[in-house]
Amino acid sequence: MIEFKNVTKHYGNNVGLENATVRIEKGDFVFLVGPSGAGKTTFVRLILNEISTDKGTIVVAGKDITRLSRREIPELRQKIGMVFQDFRLLEKKTVYENVAFAMEVVHAKRKDIRRQVPYVLDLVGILDKQDRYPNELSAGEQQRVGIARAIVNNPRVLIADEPTGNLDPITAMEIMEILDKINLRGTTILMVTHAKDIVDQMNKRVVAIEDGHIVRDEQGQYGFYNEEEYYDYDEGVDKYVF
């Protein structure tokens, strides 16, 4: 589903990724972890083809995306759903309209929108809030809307960037249960996180990056790093361009 083959990306003298090789199979649920500046954002931006590699190839859904033309990039991104830490909902649109908008931009038929939007809202447990606006929702409810919007077009891959970062522990685990359910339906999930407790509790595959190098790739818990490396900073919110 996603394969990095000897991928290197530098920003001047700074290393984004260095000779990174990893394969994420269809249906995998993978946590991407590492300290600030380790290369996690570079990893995601390369998948989205926002930036290009200096060396190596990246294959997504059987296609070498390092060779895509500009006009082919939108098609790639339609195969990838994004969930963000800060929700990024349209404040003047209702829950239903926020999710429907994701289908409208890909020119979905009205009848398909009317069928699919209630289905995904029900899947994430927020169908009863479909007529409310984002400012009428809790943080957890807003994130559920964000997830519904990300999966409404049936992407092959779902990338979740710190989706529990603004949530309390109980709500965070509710969101993880939703992501787990989506994964069980066949969607490949890559989740960027610093939440050691969630990673340990979910017991999924963990890919750890440090200084641009993939230093761990195995099933299990968060890892063997000094926790202060991961928690004593404010990484901020990564920006993605669509």
| Tens of pLDDT, residues 40-96 | 999 999 999 999 999 999 999 888 999 988 889 888 888 999 999 899 999 999 999
pTM for this entry: 0.87
Question: Is the separation of the CB atoms in 45 and 51 below 8 Å?
Answer: yes
Residue 109 domain-assigned (yes or no): yes
What pLDDT does residue 70 have? Answer: 87
Beta pairing, strands 55-60 & 157-161:
unpaired
Pick from 132, 154, 176: which residue ends a domain? Answer: 154
pLDDT at 228 over 70: no
Residue 4 domain-assigned (yes or no): yes
Residue 189 domain-assigned (yes or no): yes
pLDDT in tens, 30-40: 999 999 889 99
Sign of CA dihedral 120, 123, 126, 129: positive
Pick from 137, 154, 171: which residue ends a domain? Answer: 154
| Statement to judge: residues 141 and 182 lie in one domain | no
- Average pLDDT along the chain: 90
* Residue 117 exposed, middle or buried by CB count within 10 Å (0-12, 13-18, 19+): buried
CB proximity list for 200: less than 8 A, separation 6 or greater: 221, 222
pLDDT in tens, 130-153: 999 999 999 999 999 999 999 999
- Domain span at residue 137 reads 90-154
Residue 84 domain-assigned (yes or no): no
Strand runs labelled E in 94-168 = 157-161
| Statement to judge: residues 149 and 170 lie in one domain | no
Overall domain count for the chain: 2
What order of strands is seen across the sheet that includes strand 157-161?
Answer: 80-83, 157-161, 188-192, 29-33, 205-210, 213-219
| Statement to judge: residues 56 and 135 lie in one domain | no
